[in-house]
């Protein structure tokens, strides 16, 4: 799975977004948690 990482500086929240489907994403307080949540959404 390929993904991109975004950081919301206001909320200090990372978002991992599937590059093939932007409707699939995961949020987390760390990059690792965001990726884990993205994989669970798959």
The DSSP-derived string for 11-22 is: TTEEEEEETT-T
3-state secondary structure of 8: strand
- Asked if pLDDT for residue 14 goes beyond 90, the answer is yes
Confidence of residue 5 (pLDDT cuts 50, 70, 90): very high
Q: Tokens 């948690």, residue?
A: 33
User: pTM (2 decimals)?
Assistant: 0.90
Confidence of residue 1 (pLDDT cuts 50, 70, 90): confident
Each residue of 24-37: pLDDT tens digit? 999 999 999 999 99
Residues 23/14, Cβ–Cβ less than 8 Å: no
């Amino acid at each position: 799975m390929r993904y991109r990482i975004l950081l919301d500086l206001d909320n200090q929240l990372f978002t991992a977004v599937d590059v093939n489907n932007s409707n699939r994403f995961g949020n987390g307080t760390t990059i690792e948690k965001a990726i884990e949540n993205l994989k669970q959404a798959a």
